[in-house]
Amino acid sequence: MAKHMTDSHRRFLQSLMCCGIIEGSKARALHRHCCEVHRVHYPHEGLDDFIRVINTHLQPMFMQIRKGMSEEDGVQYYALVNITETDVTRMASDYSDTELELFRKAMDLIVDSETGTASSTEILNLADRLQPKKMKKKETEQVLQRLVQHKWLYEKDGEYTLSTRCIMEMEPYIQNIYQDLVKVCNICRNIAIQGQMCENPECGIKMHIPCVARYFKGRTDPRCPSCNEFWPHEIPDLSCPSPQAPSPGQAMAAKENTTQDTAPSRSKRLIRTTKN
């Protein structure tokens, strides 16, 4: 029998609906805040169990809170996803047909590239080939800004890639459309848009940068986990200080920052439905 969904669960879900995706440390702080506000027991390591209760009640509405990892730095995230809409049509309420076509073509460039990125120049050059109508350069730049703001794309130094939210929400679509162009990380078994590949032509496995860093940490003679050939790439160092447990004040701040996020909000009917 499914566990009862309390006001602490509903508060957590409502906050996540406002931003679509939240960093793991903020999700843990928000979990603590919700439990303290509604005076229910807060299990320090109980976030995943807490989310499982919410997911049980979201299942009839074909929604789910998923856990994923940033390909950039390995940071953990939680995202609210619609498990019935697996392609870019889920974005139709926020973008026009032409804007969605730009996003699709940008995805094509990103997935087809060796680096898993596309430059701003490459994407801007798509504007003249869009359907049902062309876009001006300024309009294209504004759409790209919105896609980054809404966390569908990630931009760094003029290079765009698929965001963590995009990969988490659209993984089935990406695998179905791009098939052999998309590899699965040999370590975590999730799709890898950005990463390092084994240069042995008979192997060719791919690993996320954070997975590479963890797998080869402390090894002086890095070798491919699949074929045992020497791994020729630079081994990244993603080490950073361990995050401290949030205080009640930090938890409150995390909750407030989350609800003020700029990503498009989900339908508020979802919260009302889960109360029934």
- Candidates 3.40.30.10, 3.40.50.1820, 3.10.520.10, 3.30.40.10; CATH matching 182-237: 3.30.40.10
Distance, CA of 88 to CA of 206 (rounded, Å): 26
Residue 268: predicted pLDDT = 39
Give every residue of the chain whose pLDDT is below 70, as ranges. 1-2, 85-87, 89, 239-276
* 159 Rama sector, left if φ>0, alpha if ψ -120 to 50, beta otherwise: beta
State the architecture of 85-178 in CATH terms.
Orthogonal Bundle (1.10)
Which residue ranges make up each domain of the chain?
7-61, 85-178, 182-237
Residues constituting the chain: 276
| Distance of alpha carbon 47 from alpha carbon 91, whole angstroms | 28
